Amino acid sequence: MRTSALQSSAKDQLSLYVFVFVLFVVGVVFGALMINALTLGQQQDLSDDVQQFILHIQNGTLQQGSDTFADRAWFQAKWLLLVWVLGLTVVGMPFVLALDFLKGVLVGFAIGMLVREFAWKGLVFSLASVAPVNLIAVPAFLIASVAAVTFAAHVVKSRFLGRFGSLGRPLLTFTATAAVMLVLLIAAALIESYLTPILLRWAAPLVDGAAPGLESF
């Protein structure tokens, strides 16, 4: 009986992970397609911002290392803290899922903008700029989101349906999961602060002056 319950719980967890991941992927696709919804003026402004960013990289004026680590770590931690708080409130569970979708939109928009601006070279540039930190940050957020939804669902079943007892252990599991994800996010901030600038300096010459021009789209 206990084995059957564990198998059912594992199956539910797997389904939830798949759902959250699909939600994130849909956000990525939506973010990439958002580029086409921008006006020509907005696209040009973004293009100018990208060119300025590349110029900062090549001039060596891009902040990096200890100058940015604290800011990037705090930025990542705020997302995780928001997920944790929303999970505790129970009613915030839909907003946790909305954050997963929003995270996908931001990643998709960044990649879509670079690809639109520099074609295949933009994809290479995105691998240097967007991919390294998100290879750690995105899984950490998704795992924390699943933990938040799981805890919120447990609270609903326990308090409103009367199926479970104490909330102490589920709360401890949720908080411990969030703490582990915080460590991963700090590692992601380290990568963003120290490794990403090195990759950007390598990738910047590839896209410098390679923009095909918005008029060609």
Q: Per residue of the chain (217 residues), what is the pLDDT tens digit?
A: 445 545 556 677 888 999 999 999 999 999 999 988 887 888 788 878 877 877 777 776 666 677 788 898 999 999 999 999 999 988 888 999 999 999 999 999 999 888 888 888 888 888 888 888 999 999 999 999 999 999 988 888 776 665 556 777 889 999 999 999 999 999 999 998 888 888 888 877 777 655 444 333 3
Residue with tokens 């009367």: 162
Long-range pairs for 100-103: beta carbons < 8 A, 24 or more residues apart:
100/20, 100/23, 100/24, 100/27, 100/141, 100/142, 100/145, 101/23, 101/24, 101/26, 101/27, 101/30, 102/27, 103/24, 103/27, 103/79, 103/138, 103/141
pLDDT at position 4 is 52
| DSSP H helices in the chain | 2-34, 40-59, 66-89, 93-118, 120-129, 131-159, 168-190, 196-207
Q: Where are the domains of the chain?
A: 8-36+47-209
Distance, in Å, from the CA atom of 164 to the CA atom of 185, rounded to the nearest integer, reads 32
pLDDT at position 120 is 80
8 A C-beta contact, residue 200 and residue 62: yes
In the chain, the amino acid numbered 84 is W
| Residue 115 CB partners (closer than 8 Å, separation 6+) | 32, 122, 123, 126
Measured from the Cβ of residue 97, the count of other Cβ atoms closer than 10 Å reads 18
pLDDT at position 214 is 37
Distance, in Å, from the CA atom of 145 to the CA atom of 17, rounded to the nearest integer, reads 9
pTM of the prediction?
Answer: 0.84
Q: Is 65 helix (H, G, I), strand (E, B) or coil?
A: coil
